[in-house]
A and B are shown apart, each in its own frame.
Chain A
Amino acid sequence: MSKSDPEFLSKLSRESQAAEKLFIGNIATRLGRSAISPAPEHPFRGAPEFWTSYELGREEQIARFMGNWQAAGGFTERLATMSDLPGVIARILREQNAGSMIRQNLTELEQLGLEEQLPELRHAAWDGLDAEDSLRTAEQADAGIVLADFAVAYTGSIVVTSSTDKGRSVSLLPNILIAVIPADRMHTRLGEVMSRIASVPGEQFPAGVHFISGPSRSSDIENDLTIGVHGPGVAFALIVG
């Protein structure tokens, strides 16, 4: 059973509509209003003004990003062009003893021709139409390769969004994460990416928007840092351009 039956859901929906009136009504009453407040002015929206003009040049951005990613326990490399990528990825996967990999199903990644570079590896591309199989493949893969939608220099973060071709599992389940970041997708501040995300219309809005800032970590045992708890423990950021 993949979804609840419609009758159950419509019962929940009826209950929800009824409960909502009371729930929100109570909030409005406590706030001293007899009806829900109309759209209020929001004069404090977003970061303070001095911050929104903060800008780094491209080279500074890249240096800052790399410093942050490394400080979080990740690895970085800078490449001149996309044509340098296959060799670098092949080297990394060999060094890491990867036996299998899964990538997002994107032309940019397909064109790398990694199958030819690494014939000894099992290769797969995410396929949302074959959900069960893709999930199993991602779970068993040693490495996941993604193309970042955005990157943020100031926090050392990449952003990946989900779609049919871009499973969330690719950046999550394998132990090695390789993120390809075209330099022109790099921004200085989080806010620049936030506004781009917010401007995506509802019908196209991705279900998952993930900011990733290095390898998975935990400090839950005696505050001793452990890398690679549930997500990838090895995280490469490859900046191209």
Chain B
Amino acid sequence: MSKPQGSNVKERAKSALKDEFLIDAVKFTTEKLKNGKKAATEEHGNWEEWRERGRLIRAHTISHLDYYLSKFIENARAQGVHVHFAPEAKDAARIAIEIAKHRGAKSVVKSKSMVSEEVHINEAFEELGIESIESDLGEYIIQLANEPPSHIIIPAIHKNRYQIADLLSKEAGETLPPETKILAGFARRKLRDKFLEADIGLTGCNFGIAETGSVVIFENEGNARMVSTVPKTQITLMGMERLIPSWDDLEVMATLLPRSATGQKLTVYMSGITGPRREHDGDGPEEMHIIIVDNGRSLQLGDPEFQELLNCIRCGACLNACPVYRHIGGHSYPGTYSGPIGAVLTPALNKNTQEWHDVANASSLCGACYEACPVKIPLHDMLVYLRNRKVERGYTASGEKMAMKGFKMLMGSHKLFRKAVKAGQIGQKLLVRDGYIRSQIGPLKGWTAYRHIPALPKRSFREQWPGLSAEIEKSIQPMSGEMELRMEEIVQARRKGGGHA
């Protein structure tokens, strides 16, 4: 898949920022999603109580994951599901391929699944000559463009209608006008045939319900319903942490997820699929497989600093809230997941300490991600842990070590932080050579908000900097007392050498 060129976040962001539309589209859409969430949560009311309940349910499930996962497996099997285990990404692909080969499958039709991106399932099928088609409109578009998704909820957030018209016109063999209705209509017709032909339907899974062994999928288009209704065989890829204990708990997730993702009260479709079709049902898969994927998730278990990562319900709210994501877009992050959750999850899943350096810095520590998160994952704390671990393990320039020492002072004072940002702004001007930021000197080296502003070509830098810096400053909210306290605790714990490797 082609991503913007460049080996680290800074370079990728640089290339991403050259695409003017990307900047506008990402800002426009994230703003809209953010406002939608705000309106929906205010209308619903008592949001903090709901968040806390969501956090408790997820935290409880994860801390008894061995029990709930076993229950889920037992109940799914009782309904006739074939359950498989993939400790690593490659195992998931291997199992899916084994099933597809045995079924003599020629084509697979897919609904949205971030796990399938993790395990590169399309590539695996295609190597065997099995056609694998994305059916979510956004996923279909980026599949035609041969790009990975740049947002968890809106995968083609970075494409405008002209680019989409070009991509679909190639598929259609005729020129389609850049009109949403017509483009969507073409995709509907084209994909309808694919649904009817496909041998295998491949889905993701938002939640697995332990008490009944059900797979729950949230969506708006109806493509996941198609994928789980028409093909004779269904394969569901499920991250091992996707569980909730009961249908009662689903009410809480259904209250939190759509509102946080798009501001909807509920997605148009929420489907609970429990085993293959019953004996005399006329539709639904005759055979159903669930592949449960670890791929680095279990490494977070028992790690007090990162276990909460597994509570994530993949709503994308932290992306929409993040001033850095809004500026550089999803392709600037390495790996499948972008934004604040991606910045922490990617290195955590990979246990790749060197990469931590790169992605952990791609955020501003402003705490907006935590405020946005419907299950209260302290992503900004985790970013601090990541930076600290990196410092401890010596994967960092000495400047960063100094920056970490200055952390407490700066973080303790919002005013100081803002000042520092301003200082950074002045500092950066000195650094632009040949149109790019060459090296970083100055007071905020390593980890401040400004660091994440990618280096830009000279002209564009000069043009954009005033706007960028104003926007970022605006986005930096004063820290809440609670958050400040936690930051303080982290620093104290670190001083005492209380690390968990």
Contacts and interface: CB of A to CB of B under 8 A. Distances in A.
Interface of A: 1-4, 8-9, 12-13, 15-16, 19-20, 22-24, 26-28, 30-33, 36-40, 42, 44-48, 50-51, 68, 72, 126-131, 134-135, 139, 154-157, 162-164, 167-169, 172, 189-191, 194-195, 197-198, 202, 205-224, 226, 228-232
A37 B61 CA distance: 12
A19 B84 contact: yes
A157 B255 CA distance: 13
Nearest to B191: A230
Contacts of B82: 9, 12-13, 16
Interface in B247-299: 247-252, 254-255, 262, 264-278, 280-284, 286-287, 292, 294, 298-299
Nearest to B141: A220
Contacts of A45: 57, 245-246, 248-249
B20 interface: no
Contacts of A36: 66-67, 70
Please name the 5 residue pairs, one residue from A and one from B, whose CB atoms are nearest each other, closest first. A231-B222, A46-B248, A220-B138, A128-B282, A30-B301
B66 A24 contact: yes
B220 A217 contact: yes
B453 interface: no
B302 interface: yes
Contacts of B32: 223
29 contacts: A16-B84, A19-B87, A24-B66, A36-B70, A40-B67, A44-B56, A45-B245, A48-B52, A68-B265, A128-B282, A129-B282, A155-B266, A163-B278, A169-B283, A194-B247, A194-B251, A207-B281, A209-B272, A209-B274, A213-B269, A220-B138, A220-B154, A221-B156, A222-B161, A222-B180, A223-B32, A226-B180, A226-B184, A231-B225
Interface in B213-239: 214, 220-223, 225-226, 228-230, 232
B301 A31 contact: yes
Contacts of B294: 23, 26
B141 to A, nearest CB: 7
Contact of A27 (B75, B222, B301): B301
Q: Which of A1, A45, A229 has the most CB of B within 10 A?
A: A229
Contact of A205 (B195, B212, B251, B270): B212
Interface of B: 25, 28-29, 32, 46, 49-50, 52-53, 56-57, 60, 63-67, 69-70, 73, 75, 78-79, 82-85, 87, 98-99, 102-104, 135-138, 141, 154-157, 160-161, 164, 180-181, 183-184, 187-188, 191-192, 195-196, 211-212, 214, 220-223, 225-226, 228-230, 232, 240, 245-252, 254-255, 262, 264-278, 280-284, 286-287, 292, 294, 298-299, 301-302
A232 to B, nearest CB: 8
Contacts of A20: 73, 83, 85
B221 A216 contact: yes
Contacts of B221: 216-218, 229-231
Given A26-B298, A37-B64, 19 more contacts: A12-B84, A23-B240, A27-B69, A37-B67, A38-B67, A45-B57, A45-B248, A172-B222, A205-B275, A206-B278, A207-B278, A208-B271, A210-B270, A213-B268, A218-B221, A219-B220, A222-B160, A222-B180, A230-B135
Given A39-B67, A223-B32, A189 B102 contact: no
Contacts of A207: 79, 273-278, 281, 284
Contacts of A157: 266, 270
Contacts of B273: 207-209
Nearest to A19: B85
B287 A4 contact: yes
A167 B283 contact: yes
B493 to A, nearest CB: 20
Contacts of A213: 264-270
Given A42-B60, A231-B221, A4 B245 contact: no
A5 to B, nearest CB: 8
A131 B282 contact: yes
A46 B249 contact: yes
Nearest to B299: A30
Contacts of B137: 218, 220-221, 226, 229
Nearest to B284: A207
Contacts of A126: 282
Contacts of A212: 268-269
A3 to B, nearest CB: 6
A63 to B, nearest CB: 15
Contacts of B301: 27, 30-31
A224 B165 CA distance: 14
A219 B138 CA distance: 8
A142 B295 CA distance: 44
A46 to B, nearest CB: 3
Contacts of B251: 46-47, 189-191, 194
Given A31-B301, A128-B280, A172-B222, A221 B78 contact: no
B188 A228 contact: yes
B73 to A, nearest CB: 7
Contacts of B64: 31, 37, 40
Contacts of B56: 44
A216 B222 contact: yes
A194 B221 CA distance: 23
Contacts of B281: 128, 131, 162-164, 167, 207
Contacts of B212: 198, 202, 205
Nearest to B84: A16
A216 B226 CA distance: 12
Given A154-B265, A155-B266, A205-B274, A2 B240 contact: no
Contacts of A135: 230, 282-283
Contacts of B192: 230
Interface core residue of B135, B220, B272, B283 (most chain A CB under 10 Å): B283
B284 A190 contact: no
Quick one: which of B85, B138, B191, B192 has the most chain A CB within 10 A?
A: B85
Contact of B66 (A33, A156, A230): A33
Contacts of B247: 194-195, 197-198
